[in-house]
């Protein structure tokens, strides 16, 4: 017996109604389970860390024919060397995609994972500040970190000076 003229429309309507109901029910099943205060902390940190390391700015890259391989972790990082500062790039984006603001306490490093917090100590006057490493550089031989103009002012740096850079948790 052939279907009546309105039958295919009714079947399509039932199909969409059942599909909508199924999707709605499945969406409710997909919500994240509630966790206690402490149970998910390490899992969330591990996920954030693993996501951060897959980011394009934490992959090996080449500048002027030299390849740099970012570290997997900044844990225990400590180095002494020369620091310089930069501030004329105002308005440009950092390696992480943030707008560069020369007044903020930020820095550039060739191989620390981005973003990383470090304590920079000016070894000439013992001033120390915490900065966020969110960019790549310096690509000048002998320098270990480039500071934003704001960070350089806070450390009373004018030109190139010896510093100690230590990762902080």
Q: Considering the domain boundaries, does residue 120 fall inside one?
A: yes
Range of the domain at 134: 61-167
Mean pLDDT, the chain, integer: 79
Q: Considering the domain boundaries, does residue 77 fall inside one?
A: yes
CATH number at residue 151: 2.40.40.10
Its pTM stands at 0.68
Tens-place pLDDT, residues 82-92:
999 988 765 68
End-to-end CA distance of the chain: give it in Å, rounded: 75
Residue ranges in 30-73 assigned as alpha helix (H): 41-54
Q: Considering the domain boundaries, does residue 113 fall inside one?
A: yes
**What confidence tier does 44 reach under pLDDT thresholds 50, 70, 90?**
very low
Q: Considering the domain boundaries, does residue 131 fall inside one?
A: yes
Q: For the chain, what is the domain count?
A: 1
Tell me if the bond preceding 145 is cis, omega within 30° of 0.
no
Instruction: Using the predicted structure, report yes or no on whether residue 43 has a pLDDT greater than 50.
Output: no
**Mean pLDDT on 24-52:** 40
Are residues 144 and 82 in contact, defined by beta-carbon separation less than 8 angstroms?
yes
Q: Considering the domain boundaries, does residue 96 fall inside one?
A: yes
């Amino acid at each position: 017996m052939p279907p009546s003229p309105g039958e295919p429309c009714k079947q399509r309507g039932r199909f969409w109604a059942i599909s909508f109901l199924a999707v709605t029910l499945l969406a409710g099943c997909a919500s994240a389970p509630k966790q206690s205060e402490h149970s998910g902390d390490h899992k969330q940190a591990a996920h954030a860390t693993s996501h951060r390391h897959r980011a394009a700015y934490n992959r090996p890259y080449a500048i002027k024919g030299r390849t740099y391989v970012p570290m997997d972790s900044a844990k225990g990082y400590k180095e002494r060397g020369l620091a310089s500062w930069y501030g004329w790039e105002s308005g440009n984006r950092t390696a992480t995609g943030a707008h560069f603001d020369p007044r903020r306490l930020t820095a550039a490093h060739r191989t620390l994972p981005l973003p990383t917090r470090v304590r920079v100590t000016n070894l000439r006057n013992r001033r120390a500040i915490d900065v966020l490493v969110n960019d790549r550089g310096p690509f000048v031989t002998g320098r270990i970190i480039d500071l934003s103009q704001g960070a350089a002012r806070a450390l009373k740096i004018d030109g190139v000076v010896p510093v100690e850079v230590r990762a902080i948790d």
